[in-house]
Amino acid sequence: MLAATCEKQQSKFIKDAAMRFLGPRSISSLLKTALDVVYYGLYVVVAVTVLAALGLLVVPNLAVEVARPLNVATHLPASSQAVILLAFSISLGGYVLIMHWTRQVLATLAEGDVFHPDNTLRLRWIGFGLAGLELFGYVARFVAESVFDLKFEPFYGLRAVTAWFSVLVVFVLAEVFKEGARLRKEADLTI
């Protein structure tokens, strides 16, 4: 009798906790809304960056006037600055893609469908996107230092470990979601 009561209370506690993190009006729903704002804001930043790069190519003298008070690389010609801005907008485009997939995962969580079968693939794409951005950063840094003669702080240590650890965590989560989707499918077939 006592065991059954404890089991019911434990089941209710787990269900209540899940409802706070999943479904409409939950933390997942709030995170998705916040991510939507950042997602569309990134689109604006990408557009402004591309327009700025085009502006540098059309009006190169403007680059010197804008860059001087900002204390940025004024020794570079406008075309080089435009290339750097375009590379920056490409990396921002990668973040837009990652946020797109993350929004899709959070949408399924906000609907209460944790182990949606598509979330495994979405999480894998997020992992590949994060890894690709990290590799793109290494290449862009090398090109900026060797071609444009720009100097950066050392790019190793805790930051690099954290970035690659994040990539691995996302791939592990993808496998967890894959197993959860498989178990859910089995449970649906047995009922």
* Residue range 75-79: mean pLDDT, rounded: 73
- Tell me how far apart the alpha carbons of residues 105 and 64 are, in angstroms, rounded to a whole number: 44
d(CA 113, CA 36): 19
CA Rg, the chain, in Å?
23
The token pair at 7 is 């089991």
Question: What's the rounded mean pLDDT across residues 3-14?
Answer: 54
Q: Which helix (H) or strand (E) holds 137?
A: helix 117-146
- Does residue 175 have a pLDDT over 50? yes
What the block records as the tokens of 69 is 């008070």
Instruction: Give the span between the Cα atoms of 96 and 110, in whole angstroms.
Output: 20
Q: Give 84-101 pLDDT, tens digit per residue.
A: 888 889 999 999 999 999
